[in-house]
Structure 1
């Protein structure tokens, strides 16, 4: 993954230096996009996760949030790639021969169009920063398109999930769908999140 991001950054750098006009601008945007993804990937994939105290609200709710570099890096990369797609779509209409790789440009444009619903969700507040809140009476998880809150009494426990995605699976009672918290979005180990869920469940059952 990191190798691909480095290669993408180098390709963007070469495009920005060698090309001219619109292609040079698109190269600069590709450079910024892949560099931003590298910034996001370091805390998500490379830096070791360490136990740390979460933010604690006035009512005792313990809040874990995705690190700012992860969220900001992804947003900057997304905005740059949307800009590249718009520029390449313009070139496809006005000067098709200027596109060095029409096939790749088409894939990029289609991908950008497919992400437009998420752009609407972002603008309307329905695309979320990954956040896990463990309160006295309820547990909330928000991340990407997911926004779910359940009473602590509905918690059965939690366990580490090794793949698809790797993270923490919060087991809920009855027929409710379990909550899966991707660990790559957080800077604490999965073991700590499991312990926090168990603590919230025990606190709720003791009341």
Structure 2
């Protein structure tokens, strides 16, 4: 697979996408706020939970989509490993939004058992509860340190990528280089030797341009050959 060097000016996120996503999330946030101010009891608690979910998701979206991506010098460990980490404003609000949904699902489960008629949208409630239950294994991973903040470590001997459930390291003999991937998802593809699938580092998770990550990986690969 051909390795593409950093390409100046490559736009990986369409211009229309950030304002549309942020605009919709803003409307949802305001809608849930209006709902929370007008209901009480258990449903009022769930409405505030939905407001927290939307507001935190909006915060993460602004950080991931609207943040200017500029070249920055990464943190360098004493061993010479260059470390790129996803911004806190992108990652922690996502965790908070997820926990808010779990609280909402818990409240709705209680209401469904004690007063099913109080649920205004039983179908949506059921979908939310099922989704929350399905995410519990990831909650266990989070609590046991197996759910990861997006992180790319470029060292003299190895390349390591962590993100969500992924935690993989490769020696430089296993890596051909890196290239920009423009869609599905947009980011940096790590070009591995062999017939396996090349992992993708999503650029929306980081605050540096994809071109910098490509250049850093290819430079470290070239240095490892010497």
TM-score, length-scaled by structure 1: 0.96
**Cα pair 1:136 1:204 within 8 Å, conserved:** yes
1:165 aligns with 2:195: no
Find the residue that maps to 1:18 and give its secondary structure. coil
* Residue in structure 2 matched with residue 3 of structure 1 by the alignment: 23
Structure-2 separation of matches of 1:180 and 1:194: 12
* 1:91 has 2:99 as partner: no
Q: Which residue of 1 aligns with 2:58?
A: 38
Unaligned runs of 5+ in 2: 1-20
- Is 1:8–1:30's contact at 8 Å kept on the other side of the alignment? no
Superposed displacement of residue 197, structure 1: 0.5
What is the CA–CA distance in structure 1 between the aligned matches of 2:22 and 2:128, rounded to whole Å? 20
Q: Alpha-carbon deviation of 1:43? A: 1.7
**Equivalent residue for 1:141?**
161
C-alpha deviations, 1:101-126, integer Å up to 9, x for none? 11111111111011111111111111
Q: Distance in 1 between matches of 2:221 and 2:46?
A: 51
**In 1: Cα distance, 2:131 partner to 2:210 partner:** 32
Which of 28, 41, 49 aligns to 2:69? It is 49
Aligned ranges 1:60-71 → 2 under 5 Å = 60-71=80-91
TM-score by length of 2: 0.88
Structure 1 segments, 4+ long, off by >3 Å, are none
CA RMSD, aligned part only?
A: 1.0
Q: Name the structure, 1 or 2, with higher relative contact order (CA <8 Å, separation 6+).
A: 2
